[in-house]
Amino acid sequence: MTRLRELMNPWMLKDQTDRMAMDELAGRFWSVLEAWWRGLEDDRGTRAVLRRAKTPLAVFITPEFQRGPVALLTRNGIDLDHQDQERLALGLGVLAHVAPPVKDRTEGAPPHFAGLLKPEKGQESTRDPRMRKLLTLEDQESEALFLMLRRLAKYLEGKAPVGAAWRSLLRGACFWDEKTRRGWAMDYYVHREKPGK
């Protein structure tokens, strides 16, 4: 079984040989998921099913998830265990609410999802409380995390190029821990204009 955390962060492996092998597998992992995600533009039925799912478990048990990304990953030599599939369901369920970027519109996009959520002038009153609430959630609160990330992702619908930030969204959703919360807080709050300027 391939471990999801290592696929998303192959640099974490200490052994050079293991890291090189995982780098190759991680490249396939990200390519398969990006192709699947972009394919949702043409497969509106699958996207609709995933968007209607109210919990990560509801995403996990759909045939669209099991026969879609899970089957594609398995065919590409990436066999995830049950727990990692559940984590992936949370992330891909949120990602279904974000339109894939147009390739030529990703220039200058922040590399991190939280950076995309920075409010424009006058939007602080809506986004800031939601971001603060998100940052208080614990990893084991997967249903609340799923709901909050979906709400925040809807702010981007058609408004901003996602670029490489979709990977940070997927990593954060799958592994929402203290390190992730700290990183998202830094990307969201640092270098913001002060209200009223």
CB 174 within 8 A of CB 91: yes
Domain spans of the chain, in order of start: 1-96, 101-197
pLDDT tops 70 at residue 149: yes
Q: Which residues pair with 2 in a beta bridge?
A: 80
User: Can you tell me the distance from the alpha carbon of 149 to that of 95, in angstroms, rounded to the nearest whole number?
Assistant: 9
User: Can you tell me the distance from the alpha carbon of 139 to that of 172, in angstroms, rounded to the nearest whole number?
Assistant: 10
Tallying the residues shown for the chain, one arrives at 197
* pLDDT, tens digit, 9 for 90 and up, residues 94-105: 999 887 766 544
Residue of 24 and 160 predicted with greater confidence: 24
User: Can you tell me the distance from the alpha carbon of 72 to that of 95, in angstroms, rounded to the nearest whole number?
Assistant: 17
CB 157 within 8 A of CB 97: yes
* pLDDT, tens digit, 9 for 90 and up, residues 127-140: 788 889 999 999 88
Token digits of residue 151: 């709400």
Q: Give residue for tokens 């995403």.
A: 59
Kind and range of the H or E run holding 57: helix 56-60
Amino acid at site 169: L
User: Can you tell me the distance from the alpha carbon of 189 to that of 195, in angstroms, rounded to the nearest whole number?
Assistant: 12
* pLDDT, tens digit, 9 for 90 and up, residues 50-83: 999 999 999 999 999 999 999 999 999 999 999 9
